[in-house]
Amino acid sequence: MQNINSVSPLLQASLFELQEAAGVTQFPSETSWYQIINGLQIQGGRISVADAATVDIPFVAPYETQVLGVWVQVVGGAENGAHLSAVPALDKFTLVNGVGDRTYFWWALGV
C-alpha cells in the first residue's frame, strides 16, 4: 500500500516527495497542476481543442482508486459546446468539443 501525504524521515525523501506529502501544489507543466491533501487529489489544467474534436486528456497524476468528478469550463466567455464522454478512467478523461476551436480549463477530484 502506498503512503499518501506522509513521508517517513527514515526514507531519505527528496524535496519533491516532502513537498507533495505536505500538500504543496505541484506544477509539472505550464498548463497543468495537482495537489494531494490527506489522500484527496485535486488537479487541473488548460487544454485547447479543435472544432468538433474528441480528445483524450491524461490526468496530470493518475488516480489510484476513484475519480469523483471532472469539470470543464470554456475560457473567455465563448459558447461552451463541450461535454465529457462516458465515465473517466483513472488515468484520463475524454472531452467532446462541439462548437468551434476552444480553450478549456479543467479540474478533477479523486482518490
State the pLDDT at residue 36: 83
pLDDT tens per residue, range 27-63: 777 888 888 887 889 999 999 999 889 999 999 989 9
Burial class, 15, CB count within 10 angstroms (exposed 0-12 / middle 13-18 / buried 19+): exposed
Q: Is the pTM of this model over 0.75?
A: no
Burial class, 105, CB count within 10 angstroms (exposed 0-12 / middle 13-18 / buried 19+): middle
Q: What's the mean pLDDT when you consider all of the chain?
A: 81
Query: Could you give the C-alpha distances from 109 to 13, 35, 71, 74, 90, in angstroms and in order?
Result: 26, 10, 9, 18, 11
Q: Can you read off the three cell numbers belonging to residue 105? A: 480549463
